Chain A
Amino acid sequence: MNPASPTTGRAPRRRRSANRVPITVYVALGAMVFFSVFPLYWMFVVATTDSATATSLPPHVLPGGNFLHLANLVFETVPFVQALVNSVIISTTIGVGQAVLCALAGFAFAKLQFPGRNTLFLIVVLTMTVPAQLAIIPQYLIMSQLDWVDTLQAVIVPGLVTAFGIFWMRQHMVGTLNDELMHAARVDGATTWQIFWRIAFPLVRPAAFVLGLFGFVNAWNDFLWPFIVLKSPEQYTAQIAIKALQNNRDIDLGLAMSGSFLATLPLLVLFVFVGRRLVQGIMEGAFKG
């Protein structure tokens, strides 16, 4: 990755000492890694030990062998497997929906000419600053009018396309899809939809993928809105199930902790594979924001 090590660098002699990474930097970064990861490690420790050990002082810092017992207790207390399935359904639909629908709108704003385009795009940009949470009361009233309360679509549908996503995809469309290619496809008789689906979308797929990932992660971790509209345990997402476990803390103190661990584990596994893309996504966003 980083071929030029401090001692063999090809930089001129004088610069070498200025560029060498001081040991304090690694100490600081080591502390950073420790504080980032420790709470998760601790979650794992408590999720694998019985209450007596988890609450003993000085604290036991190694994981125990009680994980399956606690996990079973979690599954008996709330329909946690169902909650995980619900979370997967909601997050996947939202992730895919955002990737495709934002790319589609971004394509229209970047590459198509139509009356009202600039005004509509201005509206998209303006809506980015207003948090949707402020309107939760009427949103709830609408959901009960639609008879959607306590259904997964109440969580999915409002999250399918975001203003930020459109903004982000439009930037990528402007940067990657060149007009001559589009023109050539038109001459060949391609419809606008075909140009989008066969040419534009494949070109911006990496950006759409990152957008979808963020949509997935945010939907997985969302709390307030699912907490309001999902009422019965069979409809809970993993996050709401954690809250239900916490209400049952008389059963076992480690119950909510085990639930938290089970709800976090899928994202951590995902993170091992796509963490690098998320890092890039955030850093690219900064250039454009």
Chain B
Amino acid sequence: MTTTLSPATSAGTTRGPSRYRHVQQGVRERLAPYGYVAPFFVLFLIFGLFPLLFTFYVALFDWDLIGERHFVGLDNFSELVHDPRFWGALRNTFSIWVLSTVPQLLIALGLAHVLNHVRLRAATLFRMSVLVPYVTSVAATTIVFAQLFDRDYGMLNWFLELLGFPHVDFTASVWGSHVMIALMIAWRWTGYNTLLYLASLQTVSRDLFEAAAMDGANSWQQFRHITIPSLRPIIVFTVVTSTIFGLQTFTEPLLVNPVGGLTCGAARQCQTLTLFLYEQAFGRFHFGYGAAVAVALFVMVVIVAAINYLLVTRIRSERP
């Protein structure tokens, strides 16, 4: 450390030619902060902001792969509004989101409550094991779950058969495919959310739980009257995050049904909005129409963010 610092020190004390260097260094020092934040802003402008704005522009064109394009105004949007494939994808996205978010967050709440037990042994091991699904890729997860849910050879159908039920073709039906995809998403994110809730719970005073226990409150009552209320802000945060991730669901429906192609089955039974976007833009090379889907998604994200903002400000104002 000292060796690299000393040249600068000696440069400052010598006279003559170093004076120019001194001025130069002063300018450099003043510009340094901009240089440090520049990588983010350069990359953000090129790969973030510009493409986002350009999406709105592309959506106004009939634009194909080789760059052939015709200005069509809002035609893509009016087509989109009357496109049953778009509404179907919206329905699928919403249904998968609800089916994955609700059980995921409820289980995460319960697990966080349990993991917060003072005298729990092997706590680190339990915390690590809930996170295993998070480091497993979506692609690998989907391949395994598709196998477990397979109509003919899947373990789940084997269980159903044991119990006397007929085999279910999960990928073929709307509900079956939605439940299956929702389960993959829930499997992946439950542990992550559990840790978020647990972290938030640990900021709640232990005395509160102990006092409640002394007063005879059982575990459920503590959960209902202490855990839930103190986690309200983080619950809002996780719902919002899961919504924004939910709108981007893509890999599961693409891989879950290998014969289904880009539509997740002949009836588009599990095609999500992002998969529909991909199909239009990169499967059929309708860049303009795909961009219109992206704009619709953007509007949804903005609505979610606005609702989030309202909820958060309300929670803050409730607390003195």
Contact = CB atoms under 8 A, between A and B. Distances in A.
Interface of A: 1-2, 4-6, 9, 14-15, 18-22, 25, 28-29, 32-33, 35-37, 39-40, 42-43, 46, 54-59, 101-102, 104-105, 107-109, 112-114, 117, 120, 123-124, 127, 129-142, 157-158, 160-163, 166, 185, 188-194, 196, 198, 217, 220-221, 223-224, 228, 238-239, 242-243, 246-247, 249, 256-257, 259-261, 263-264, 267-268, 270-271, 275-276, 278-279, 282-287, 289
B181 to A, nearest CB: 14
Contacts of A188: 5, 9
B199 A224 contact: no
Given A40-B132, A192-B32, A275-B128, A137 B147 contact: no
B185 to A, nearest CB: 13
A128 to B, nearest CB: 10
B26 to A, nearest CB: 11
Contacts of A283: 195-196, 198-199, 202
A199 B118 CA distance: 38
Interface residues of B, dominant DSSP: helix
Interface string B32-49: 111011011101101111
B118 A161 contact: no
Given A131-B248, A271-B132, A114 B33 contact: yes
B73 interface: no
Contacts of A22: 219
Interface stretch (B82-90, B91-99, B135-143): B135-143
Q: Which 8 A-B pairs have the closest CB atoms?
A: A135-B51, A138-B51, A283-B199, A260-B140, A221-B137, A286-B199, A18-B213, A138-B54
A132 B48 contact: yes
A77 B227 CA distance: 52
Interface of B: 1, 4-5, 8-9, 11-12, 25, 29-30, 32-34, 36-37, 39-41, 43-44, 46-52, 54-55, 58, 110-111, 114-115, 117-124, 126-141, 143-145, 147-148, 152-153, 155, 158, 161, 187, 191-192, 195-196, 198-200, 202-203, 210, 213-214, 219, 234, 237, 244, 247-248, 250-251, 254-255, 258, 274, 277-278, 281-282, 287, 290-291, 294, 297-298, 301, 305
A160 B278 CA distance: 24
B32 A224 contact: no
B79 to A, nearest CB: 17
Contacts of B301: 129-131, 134
A260 B143 contact: yes
A161 B41 CA distance: 9
A242 B256 CA distance: 12
B234 A19 contact: no
Given A28-B114, A129-B301, A108 B36 contact: yes
A131 B244 contact: yes
Contact of A36 (B49, B51, B130): B130
B135 A271 contact: yes
